[in-house]
Structure 1
Amino acid sequence: MSIDKNLVAEMTKWRHTLHACPEMAFEEVSTARLVATVMRANGITVQEGVGRTGVVGTLTRGDGPKIGLRADMDALPLLEKNAFAHKSQHDGKMHACGHDGHTAMLLGAAVALSQNKEWQGTINFIFQPAEEAAGGGRAMVEDGLFERFPCDMVFGLHNWPGLPLGRFAINHGPMMASFDTFEIQIQGQGGHAAMPEKSIDSLVCASHLVLALQTIVSRRLPPQETAVVSVTQIHGGEAWNVLPDNAIIRGTVRCFSMVTQRRIHELLVELSEGTAKTHGATATVAYNYAYPATINTAAETDIAILAATATVGEDKVNWDCVPSMASEDFAFMLNAKPGAYIWMGVDRDTSVPLHNPHYDFNDDALAIGAAYWVELVRTTMRGSAA
């Protein structure tokens, strides 16, 4: 189904409005208001405040499948460096991940489906807050999302720089990695930098530990287990001539299974305590299981492939893509319900990466994304259509 040009123009206006007024995690008040207002104007039942600032719109037409369609709404703490008219008006906040486009596309699909008679069942339009490392997906699930708005299956979509406009990519199984964080406290004994033999050097210990952590993936995990362990912060010391008492190491872990997550946690503790003991220091590890891996279920992936194929053609859908080591809190919804997460191409000739201060969602993708959502509903509910 093609999207009416007048609706595409409306989606573009919504997208530009959202881009100019980005809101951070759990602050999406004006974004939620726009979403709720448009849906109510089109006869869609709306519930606000789900998972704090989330919005769910529901359309029911007779008996049939119950599905959830999800878009994320939040922006990033980033200073935009674009100069176009719809650039961010909120300094230090920016839609650098395309969530403005995601919201506009699902909102456009909701309007189109409210006027379309070629389906029968229940559609829950899930507008999620706080995807960017704040766990808005978890907040909605814990707020009773699927008890209050029953879904047999749930679907997500993300724009994907590096994939040409008019193409989709999906995988049966893992799409995005888990996201965990860790903090290691190294406790040594401070002293004079000119007399290190009278101290326990926490910085030397921390330096050895950073290198030791790189052996977790290369030497302690089976090569078939994909994982990333990255140290992203080292803190310690304030003076030129003082060996600090303690040092802090922080970082992130990415992988595709809970078994691997738990094994990496164990190895972090083992290596930290062992390395510290070697240097006469002690180590304490705090490990945070943040986002699970985003793993598609087979039957729902097939539905998404059919919908994408109906939207852009079979030759423009890759259904065996390489998973990303980035993370997505849509995983919390997939942990609760079967479903599928797909990437949509947005590139013309060049690509600006996500989370970049020059990123801007490609408006030419709006009609494609909205059409995909409509086709997904028609594919899922075609057998029930009156």
Structure 2
Amino acid sequence: MNDPSGRPVEVVTTDGSARAARELAARLITASTGAGPAVLPTGPGDPSPRAALVEPVHAGVAAVVTTSGSTGVPKAVLLSGSALAASAAATSARLGGEGRWLLALPAHHVAGIQVLLRSARAGTPAAVMDLQEGFRPDAFATALETAAGDGGGAVSRTSLVPTQLRRLLDDADGSGSGAGLDALRSLEAVLLGGAAADPVLLERARAAGVRVVTTYGMSETCGGCVYDGVALDGVSVEFDDVDPSGAGRVVLGGSTVAEGYRGADETAAADFLPARRFRTSDLGRLGPDGRLEILGRADDVIVTGGEKVAPTAVERALLAVPGVREACVVGVPDDEWGARVVAVVAGGDGGALDGDAVRDQVAAGLSSQGLGRAAPRSVRVLDALPVHGIGKPDRAAVRALFAG
């Protein structure tokens, strides 16, 4: 959407510091109200944006946000001020009113942008956690404590990715107490998104008294737009290319959908459908209770021996094994089966994991359910899963581990 007579685009670079996040917040607030240039946020280590990305945009565009690239080449998403405002308003309505937020995510990602704008909507600046040295539970607690005395009002909400939540839970002592976890428990709502959260992690968090709300969405929908499986007000959920099992590509619609991509190829651009809808790369269906269930990415489905295997189902089985805290399942080429299912896992409780033992336990469980073909042929144990963006498993890096 290049418009020589339109709105200029300003690149705002963040370095993980609280100062840079506050500066970005000020620019975003100005842009979202229609004043000043549109904002293209970048993060530490990001390359300079291509010249085409900073050409003028349509007057309604407030932010140009690059995606994580989890489905291939990163894309530049055009977000209007009205879409960002609609998202913030819908979140406020679902959570029961306005509140002050703590930014604990990279400010240049869409989830971080939304934290900044939601707090501004509440009439108070977001409290900001300095991330230059990474995310630490003690720093999380300090950021909340500092915010309580800065005159901006108490923080009641934050947004995290599963890796951060796991670190806060793991930091607790034997009595279930820890500075970071205690601070987290004080919040009215903890939005959890950015990557799939396994049921075991959610159960741990809720048992610890954390008020977790799972979110589903992406940059193309101004971030999360489905909370705990239920679409926010003004958001629609449909399915495309539905298979006999009732699963299909998730299509999200409504006022939070972006204006489109900048500089993307025709195939990617075609995912923006008429009537303000966006066709995602995720497979999903409605569960018996009417809530949206995400089954995994359509591109991640593994066809082995003529049968389709959803990595998410196998990952859940792996995460149910004692000692396994993280898991990622991918398919790699196989001369006999077309593709074979493989996995990497990581622990976190100080105990050593045995990949063969984990594989055998999962294979037995899946076979008892008639899903023996889905069992991973090989399981490797890592200290931590490779990730990109704000905590999404890097499946390409996992496949590379099994190359050859």
> Could you say which TM-score interval applies, normalised by the shorter chain?
under 0.3
> Greater RCO between the two (CA within 8 Å, min separation 6)?
1
Name whichever structure is richer in helix by fraction: 1
Give the TM-score of the pair, scaled to structure 2: 0.26
Q: Which has the larger radius of gyration?
A: 1
Give the TM-score of the pair, scaled to structure 1: 0.26
